[in-house]
Structure 1
Amino acid sequence: MTDIGPLVLGPIAHGGHCVAHIDGRVVFVRHGIPGEIVRVRITDDSKPRFWWGEVAEVIEASSDRLASPCPVAGVCGGCAFQHIALDRQRDLKAQVVAEQLHRLAGIDRNVQVEAAPGESDGLGWRTRMRYLTDEGRFGLRAWRSDQMVDLSDVGCAIAHPNGRWAAAHHAQRNREIQVIVADSGISVIDGSGYCLSGAPEVTQTVSGRRYRVRADGFWQVHPSAAQALTDAVVDMLEPSPGELALDLYCGVGLFAGRLVDEGCQVIGVEISRATIAMARYNVPQARFRVGPTERLLSTLPRYVDLIVLDPPRSGAGAKVVRHLSHLGARAIAYVACDPAALARDLATFADHGYRLADLRALDLFPMTHHVECVALLVNQQI
């Protein structure tokens, strides 16, 4: 299909695309900025109600448009916002969070997205990278594709500089590798889980507590993220010694450790047995249970004081939210990487007596469309 335009790009949508219209049809456009006049190349017209496209030519640019610091930013699938000034990136993310809260939860709230602590230019922050390699070449996947996009010797612009050499060093045969930059050092893991260099387990330190985690396991990818999120949760919940707290989807015990250090009794729940083993090692003062949260609801105490939720991108879901709403917690901290899932769960919480009292949005993924939120819910019956 030929390029179409000129078009005026409309507001940002969840997922980092601008909304445009062609003959009454919605088109989601990559690599634009709201208000720009552009020509659009249609990349997917398989849906009758909406198409996908990307900016082919900028006719009238936004004052916030910049030259992307990475030469493949428009080709690889990682960075949606490298062409946008950082302050405008955060404004756009704030608009997405506010729109999802309004549309899915009926909540009207002014949202501001905060820079990560210590963040300057939005580059060199990603401590966990997944690369494709092939006989000395290394790169990233193209947008919605398994095709490899070659990187220069400098590597990915958002990758942590301490790990950039590792991808090139291990790019000797066709495989996928992960490069992990941890407080304890650098590890490289191949697609089968074999440790090519460094250690298969690494350690991270948050608020003076050391956490052991598998190198290829889950940990926040921004160096400031774990500290910023635990600080936000504790500041919102204001835990008191002796209170009983749940840490659901607890991973290796990040929030459990912080709550224990605040004097709380903590019960953590996580689906992975191996991850729970590390949580027990990391936070021996807490109790942990293995299994899907939705299947362990009946085993939880009938009353708790505090709850921390850090579910996967899909959210906690109505079944979990309904059950938690009946445990009497005075406050719930909900950590979310997807504003739509957060908004859906907030709507369910509202139906069961919990209102949104505070919300912080943190830019822990600069140059991408992603944003992390921490929401405080309070029990209206207390």
Structure 2
Amino acid sequence: MSPPRRPRVRQQRGRSRVGERFEAEVGPIAHGGHCVVRLPLDDGDRVVFVRHAVPGERVVVEITEGSDGDRFWRGDAVEVLEASTDRVVAPCPYAGPGLCGGCDFQHVSLPAQRALKAEVVCEQLRRLARLDVDVDVAVEPVPGDRDGLGWRTRQRYVALPGGRRGMRKHRSHDVVPVERCLIEAAEGPRYEVRDASFAVAAGGFWQVHPGAPETLVAAVLDALDPQPGESALDLYAGVGLFSRFLLDAVGPDGRVRAVEGDAAAVRLALRNCPGLRATAGEVGAVLTTEYDEPFDLVVLDPPRVGAKRKVVEQVVDRRPRAVAYVACDPAALARDVAIFAEHGYGLTSLRAFDLFPMTHHVECVALLEPRGRPTQRTTS
């Protein structure tokens, strides 16, 4: 998960409603770990994004952000009047309104958490990519956690006086003292996948869920089905997690090229992946001058903001037969899928993985392929 963002200072538009309470029916889940509530007010319905609720419940909502002139408000469900059958007692004593902001769904059963995440993925694809996606897309559990806990192999705390430590509240710099975070793993990350070891810089990027690297490698290789002699382009390649196994799959007659923004990661990728050719630099900028030949396969594993138009258009210009898009934000994925569609590439498969239990985050692996035209495989 990303470090907490500094809340934007918003100009108040009229009377503040912070602290006011309303009884309300909870509507559907929304992207970001909250549910939609519509409050009937004298000046019309007001949308409130409410945390700590479950769709279908009746709750008391306390407004945490908002004034009369705002389009929407934010709030917490501070009292449950009619509970959902999916509601559970949060395992963590620091989860709840006004407490640690790290987890969104501790009050929801694990199967229901995954169902809510699947709804968000489908909703984003419908709304942003105009795709009719089945609502029963499954968010798959991943080996390596214990009932959704004990999976975060890298954790950051706020140092407090007296040697204590804490976690920040939601959308705040205020700190809640904690004894122990229940999603923190007992051990740090292991940099081994399929008997291959990876060199990773201290503080460098590596998936925080212990089951994530193997799960994502398997999903990407299954989607792309790389063949001996093919060519592959690995974008936002990190230390070469996907490149390593693409090299094995395409063999000595194939080729794998990689682009990564972090120069230190590129140096490690070259160590981790013998035979790899890699370039350090901003992906869109690099692709304007390098690797402009056709590629059979492309792996896209961008940061949370997604690949965006410049990179997507560079990818389709290489005419790959298949693109595996690894996405940690369904909204960014949906936006980029819509851009691929403008250029004749359709979403042909989608898998989602619960790499961040107890939070609203979900990882997707999408396969994009050309529509209505034969694909060509290139060989070196």
The 2-side partners of 1:300 and 1:25 are apart by 51
> What amino acid maps onto 1:124 in structure 2?
G
The 2-side partners of 1:209 and 1:34 are apart by 44
Deviation, structure 1 residue 120: 4.4
Deviation, structure 1 residue 302: 2.1
Deviations 1:134-176 (A, max 9, x none): 2210121121122221112xx10100023xxxxxxxxxxxxxx
SS at match of 2:29: coil
Instruction: Tell me what 1:189 maps to.
Output: none
Instruction: Tell me what 1:198 maps to.
Output: none
The 2-side partners of 1:140 and 1:80 are apart by 14
Deviation, structure 1 residue 2: 4.2
SS at match of 1:128: coil
Confirm or deny that 1:40 pairs with 2:61: yes
Instruction: Tell me what 1:141 maps to.
Output: 168
SS at match of 2:159: strand
Identify the match of residue 242 of structure 2 among 242, 251, 255: 255
SS at match of 1:28: strand
Instruction: Tell me what 1:56 maps to.
Output: 78
The 2-side partners of 1:271 and 1:6 are apart by 49
Deviation, structure 1 residue 275: 1.1
Instruction: Tell me what 1:114 maps to.
Output: 140
In structure 1, the gaps of 5 or more residues are: 163-180, 184-203
Confirm or deny that 1:277 pairs with 2:237: no
Confirm or deny that 1:231 pairs with 2:218: yes
Deviations 1:58-77 (A, max 9, x none): 00111111111111112112
Structure 1 segments (4+ residues) deviating >2 Å: 1-5, 117-120
Identify the match of residue 279 of structure 2 among 268, 289, 304: 289
Deviations 1:196-229 (A, max 9, x none): xxxxxxxx01112111112311110100001000
Aligned pairs (5 A) from 1:36-185: 36-46=57-67, 48-74=70-96, 75-110=99-134, 111-134=137-160, 135-152=162-179, 155-162=180-187, 181-183=188-190
Instruction: Tell me what 1:193 maps to.
Output: none
> What amino acid maps onto 1:132 in structure 2?
V
> What amino acid maps onto 2:52 in structure 1?
H
The 1-side partners of 2:245 and 2:145 are apart by 23
The 1-side partners of 2:175 and 2:247 are apart by 45
Instruction: Tell me what 1:362 maps to.
Output: 353
Indicate if the aligned counterparts of 2:144 and 2:210 stay in contact, CA closer than 8 A.
Answer: no
The structure whose residues are more often strand, as a share, is: 1
The 1-side partners of 2:168 and 2:199 are apart by 29
In structure 2, the gaps of 5 or more residues are: 1-17, 375-380
SS at match of 2:200: strand
Aligned pairs (5 A) from 1:190-269: 204-262=191-249, 263=251, 264-269=254-259
Deviations 1:280-309 (A, max 9, x none): 111122110010001011212320000000
> What amino acid maps onto 1:351 in structure 2?
E
Q: Percent identity at matched positions?
A: 54
SS at match of 1:214: coil
Deviation, structure 1 residue 353: 1.0
SS at match of 1:246: strand
Instruction: Tell me what 1:375 maps to.
Output: 366
The 2-side partners of 1:265 and 1:303 are apart by 12
Instruction: Tell me what 2:8 maps to.
Output: none
Cα distance change on mapping 1:301 and 1:208 into 2, 3 Å: farther
SS at match of 1:350: helix
Instruction: Tell me what 1:8 maps to.
Output: 25
Alignment length (residue pairs) = 342
The 1-side partners of 2:60 and 2:155 are apart by 33
> What amino acid maps onto 1:95 in structure 2?
E
The 2-side partners of 1:36 and 1:3 are apart by 19
